[in-house]
Amino acid sequence: MSTIREVVTIFVGQAGTQISNACWELFCLEHGIEPNGNVKKENVSPGNLFRTFFSQSQKGLFTPRTVVVDLEPTVIDEIRTGAYKKLFHLDSLITGNEDAADNFARGYYSLGQEAIDETLDRIRKICENCSNLNAFIVFRSVGGGTGSGFTTLLLEQLSKDYAKKLKMDFAVYPAPNISTVIVEPYNSVLAMHGTMDYVDCCFIVDNEALYDICARKLEVDRPTYTNLNRLQAQIVSNITAPTRFESVLNLNLEEIRTNLIPFPRLHFPLMAYAPIIPSHKAAYANTTVQQITSECFEPANHMVRCDPRIGAYMSCCLLYRGNVENRSEINNAIGFLKGTKSIRFVNWTPTGFKIGLNCLPTVTVPGGDLAPSKQTVANLSNNTAIRHAWTRLASKFDLMYQKKAFFHHYLAEGIEEDVFTDARANISALLEDYIEVET
């Protein structure tokens, strides 16, 4: 039996809380855990590896090893009264009394300071019950105040208290043409600057890319956040599957980090998933390894709006699930891709691809948008094209900063102007780093 290496998940802010609903719904389905924490005996996964994400209570019930925190109570109250209210330990759901008002400084300086001790205390208690703590995985949006400011404060503290533990970040970034918050550029630049040194690997998602996938590929006319979050949960499932299931060719979280991140600052991989087939077409789906491998390199299958074909790949991890019978199928698919010349690697990466293979097929939510598939693949790739997303964000930041627009809201909460200039300079340095590795 494999050693259980526990993972603590942390969901922050409104977006994080809503993503947690989708993730735990899917994880429970995968491991046969009912909404009240009972396990369906016939569904217990081999080796009990699901304990990496779940802990067992004295009554034998399983609860997520998680903390869900928001500075205002509304969204988390929906969990407390919803279908999964008995799944979570009540102390794991942490709320304040007022929201961060889409203001990084409120989340970091004023309101955040009131919630940080309770949050860290709960995380410490969870960690004390772990025998072999492996990693923290954080989910948040960087456009709002709590997801940007409070998460920055939290990651700073986690880096002090758990310096040697892996920290992964799933961050919803502002979409190019869909903006729900005017001050998103401020919050996002401040958040990225604030957490740059505290996160080992940050997977970026943007809502516009998810909307497009739901609308065009899954044929959902008006996608809701539930549609978007379930799609994101599916790829999170593929990334974490090696830690939760026995597999023939495993890639644990450390191996993913080691193989994806060539330089500490360039830790923003792209994510893609294939096949993406609407549930009403499930009967007609007939996929091959070569087909899904090619699909997961298409821009339309990526979870962030940028075109990897205009950048250069530094690294790529392909995580397969399902009845991929042998490694030669995968090798042939990769050989075909290399032959097309549409995938360009930087000249200092000789091999480029790292493969993971898990024989258990992906589970989909009954009645959901996505058709079940016998073979799926998640593509995690570190590509210099991500710098174009930073460039878009930086230019929007500059437009507001030149006028000092909305500035007084931030200064009133205790932030100093130097923090803005330092954050913007850090983005410029990051862009230079990407340009340098590409040439």
pLDDT in tens, 162-209: 999 999 999 999 887 777 789 999 999 999 999 999 999 999 999 999
Do the beta carbons of residue 185 and residue 174 sit within 8 Å? yes
Res 46: pLDDT: 45
Task: Give the CA dihedral 322, 328, 331, 335, nearest 10 degrees.
Answer: -130
Task: Note the helical H segments in 35-102.
Answer: 74-81
Query: What tokens does 374 get?
Result: 């016998």
Question: Which amino acid is it at 97?
Answer: N
Please report the domains of the chain, with CATH numbers, ordered by start residue.
6-260 (3.40.50.1440), 270-384 (3.30.1330.20), 388-438 (1.10.287.600)
Q: Do residues 348 and 293 touch, judged by C-beta distance below 8 A? A: no
Instruction: Look at residue 339 in the predicted model and tell me its pLDDT.
Output: 78
Cβ atoms of 230 and 26 closer than 8 Å: yes
pLDDT tens digit string along 290-303?
999 999 999 999 99
Q: What are phi and psi of 82, to 5 degrees?
A: -90, -170
* H helix or E strand, kind and range, residue 211: helix 207-212
pLDDT tens-digit readout, 390-423: 999 999 999 999 999 999 999 999 999 999 999 9
Residues with a known catalytic role: 255
Measured distance CA(402)–CA(209) in Å, rounded: 29
pLDDT of residue 233: 96
Dist. CA 379–CA 332, nearest whole Å = 16
Q: Average pLDDT by consecutive 10-residue portion of the chain (439 residues)?
A: 82 97 95 90 58 88 95 95 93 94 95 95 96 96 96 97 96 83 94 95 93 94 92 94 81 90 95 93 78 93 92 94 82 85 83 85 91 93 94 94 95 95 97 90
Instruction: Give residue 227's identity as a one-letter amino acid code.
Output: N
Give CA separation, 388 vs 305, 321, 344, 358, 435, in Å.
10, 31, 17, 33, 11
Helix, strand, or coil here: 307?
A: coil
Give the DSSP per-residue string, 319-362: EEEE----HHHHHHHHHHHHHHT---B-TT-SS-EEEEEESSPP
